[in-house]
């Protein structure tokens, strides 16, 4: 008999989300406050056959050490891609000027439609 009989699919997906031992197809990075909000999305992706791990920026900061939060997130992303075969990264949160926000971006300089240089938020850095 399966010891997990009777567990809801949602609970099983929640257990899977926190298991660090299994390589995941999708890594979703968000704030600790938003982890629970992203769980229905993760359950939906699991139903589609993708394994998902939600990682908070707090947990990333505990394991990876960069010069700022952007580099710390990038180190986590590289680790999961290089060592776990992760295929997709989802940044689950906003980015605000000055390296603030839930998942801060790394701005790049581009010419806007008026020919002026502008800081453009981008996820390319990750």
What ranges do the domains of the chain cover? 23-120
As given in the structure block, the two tokens for residue 24 are 């995941």
Asked which of 34-48, 83-97, 103-117 is least confident by mean pLDDT, the reply is 103-117
Q: Which residue has the higher pLDDT, 37 or 105?
A: 37
Question: Residue 41 has what pLDDT?
Answer: 96
pLDDT reading at 6 higher than 80: no
pLDDT digits (tens, 9 = 90+) for 27-56: 999 999 999 999 999 999 999 999 999 999
pLDDT reading at 9 higher than 90: no
Question: Residue 105 has what pLDDT?
Answer: 80
Question: Mean pLDDT in the chain?
Answer: 81
Nearest to 4 by CA among 14, 46, 35, 26: 14
How far apart CA 124 and CA 105 sit, in angstroms, is 9
pLDDT reading at 7 higher than 80: no
How far apart CA 64 and CA 96 sit, in angstroms, is 22
Cβ–Cβ under 8 Å, residues 69 and 99: yes
Question: Residue 99 has what pLDDT?
Answer: 75
CATH architecture of 23-120: 3-Layer(aba) Sandwich (3.40)
Secondary structure of residue 4 in the 3-state scheme: coil
């Amino acid at each position: 008999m399966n010891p997990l009989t009777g567990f809801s699919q949602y609970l099983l997906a929640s257990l899977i989300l926190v298991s660090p031992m299994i390589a995941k197809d999708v890594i979703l990075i968000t704030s600790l406050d938003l982890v629970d909000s992203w769980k229905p999305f993760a359950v939906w992706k699991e139903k589609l056959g993708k394994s998902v791990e939600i990682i908070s920026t707090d947990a990333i900061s505990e394991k990876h050490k960069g010069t700022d939060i952007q580099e710390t997130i990038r180190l986590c992303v590289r680790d999961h891609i290089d060592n776990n075969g992760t295929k997709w990264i989802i940044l689950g949160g906003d980015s605000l000027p000055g390296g603030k926000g839930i998942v801060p971006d790394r701005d790049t300089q581009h010419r806007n439609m008026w020919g002026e240089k502008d800081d453009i938020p981008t996820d390319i850095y990750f």
